[in-house]
Structure 1
Amino acid sequence: MQEEYVLRQEDLVENPTARVPICLVLDVSSSMDGAPIQELQSGVQMFFEAIRQDEVAQYAVEISIVTFGSSVQKALDFMSIERQEVPDLKANGMTPMGQGVTLALDLLEARKEDYKRAGVDYYQPWMVIMTDGEPTDDIALAAARIESLVADKKLTVFPIAIGDAANLQVLGRLSPMRPPLRLNGLNFADFFTWLSRSVSRVSQSTPGEAVELDVAGISAWGRV
């Protein structure tokens, strides 16, 4: 763990490019078993490959992954993408979404402090929450933290519902400014393609500058 921490700090010294921190908060509960978890795994892999191949984003984008299922885990911490490998996603357990989102917020806050100490500029952090059900724990604390950060323009949240069982009303509590979207079938591929393009667009802007999202492109993978 100490070695990993040192590498994360070295990345900031060796590459002072302004960063786009993104945390993927992924439901790996038992209901995701089979095709859903396989398609999610492929989609995440595709996202990483797209960022690696983008000559600007590969130096700017930093990704972390939090999974929630039988436990809540930091599956991947922030680091240069060239040092990262996509973790294997395994479906098991309940849906402790509140704990998962809380851990993700903590990781984003810690990485922002790293940036400040290193004198590295950064863009508004992104959080992508993907779930096929509804939480089996309390999300009130996580929702309150998100509401405060979003109001201060310190966080962008994308809640994505997988399948018809996902509760859009509950997801909406985690996204005060943007309605949650429901994935068309298991179309993770188009979603992560859209996400990589959106992130690439942000990485080519100036930190603090408002970036227009590709709203038209959403119809390829999702619906309200």
Structure 2
Amino acid sequence: MASLDMILDNNEMVENPTPRVPVSLVLDVSGSMIGAPIDELNRGVEQFFRSLMDDDVARYAAEVNVISFGSDVSQDVEFGPLEKCVVPKLQAIGKTCMGKAVSLALETMERRKDIYKNLGVDYYQPWMVLMTDGKPTDDWEMAALKTSSLVEKGKLTVFPIAIGDNACTDTLANFSPTRSPLKLKELNFSQFFRWLSSSVSRVSQSIPGEKVELDVKGIEGWSRL
């Protein structure tokens, strides 16, 4: 039997005809993120939600889930109306279970797409932002293969982001066959999430299936080679 929350969510989805833009934030909260990195990441995530809510189109189109990974994996925000999302306060601890986190992200995105289809709601193919400051401590190869396959089929857009000099860009590259990993400049999480919210806004104003050019110039503000 469907829960009351699920029924209300489905009703709201039908009442809001705006095509959806599902975005999954898969974020490293391992022990090496303690201190300034996790503080800046939290500020950036909060700003991302705030910027989307301030956009007249994106606030109805964007649906965001947040999956954090340290020694364990947690879905801190589930897909749903932005106005009902509670921005999480992420805490850094433990190892780097990236493979498990990406697998969970793929599962949640597929389930959300099934809901869109069943309710007749149009949608854009999902985005996944994968951010890490290290390398996985769990099995990640199968998750990378699944992710790459979806990217190559045009069913997923991945933004692999390396935090700091110790992030393993070679591993990140396995999750993104068409877009090389980008290195975050210092701890410019806020600038990255401003760019991301602007990109989501641009996509939400296009037609589903239409190719949308990203703001390449804006990338220079938060990334470095």
TM-score range, shorter chain: over 0.9
Distance 2:55 2:124 in 1: 17
| Aligned counterparts, 1:122-133, within 5 A | 122-133=123-134
Counterpart residue number, 2:212: 211
For 1:39 and 1:82, how far apart are their aligned partners in 2?
23
Secondary structure of the residue aligned to 1:87 is coil
**CA offset at residue 113 of structure 1?**
0.2
**What is the aligned-residue identity percentage?**
56
Q: Gapped runs of 5+ residues in structure 1? A: none
Aligned runs of 1:63-102 on 2, under 5 Å? 63-102=64-103
Which runs of 5 or more residues in structure 2 are unaligned?
none
Once the two structures are overlaid, the 10-residue window that deviates more, 114-123 or 9-18, is 9-18
Q: Is 1:200 aligned to residue 201 of structure 2? A: yes
Query: What TM-score comes out, normalization by structure 1 length?
Result: 0.98
Instruction: Give the 3-state SS of the residue equivalent to 2:22 in structure 1.
Output: strand
Q: Distance in 2 between matches of 1:142 and 1:211?
A: 26
Name the SS of the counterpart of 1:220 in structure 2. Answer: coil
RMSD (Å) for aligned C-alpha atoms: 1.1
AA in 1 matched with 2:193: F
Question: Once the two structures are superposed, what CA deviation does each residue of 1:79-122 show, in whole Å capped at 9, x if it has no partner?
Answer: 10001110110111100000000000000000000000010000
For residues 169 and 222 of structure 1, the distance between their equivalents in structure 2, rounded to whole angstroms, comes to 17
- Maintained 8 Å contact 1:63/1:79: yes
2:164 is the alignment partner of 1:157: no
Number of aligned residues: 224
**For 1:111 and 1:27, how far apart are their aligned partners in 2?**
23
Preserved contact between residue 18 and residue 123 of structure 1 (Cα < 8 Å): yes
Greater than 4 Å deviation, 4+ residue runs:
none
Q: What's the CA shift string for 1:130-188, capped at 9, x where partnerless? A: 11100001111111111111111000000101100000000000111000000000000
- Structure 2 CA distance, aligned partners of 1:212 and 1:9? 31
CA distance in 1, matches of 2:40, 2:15: 35
Q: 1:30 to 1:2 in 2, by over 3 A?
A: farther
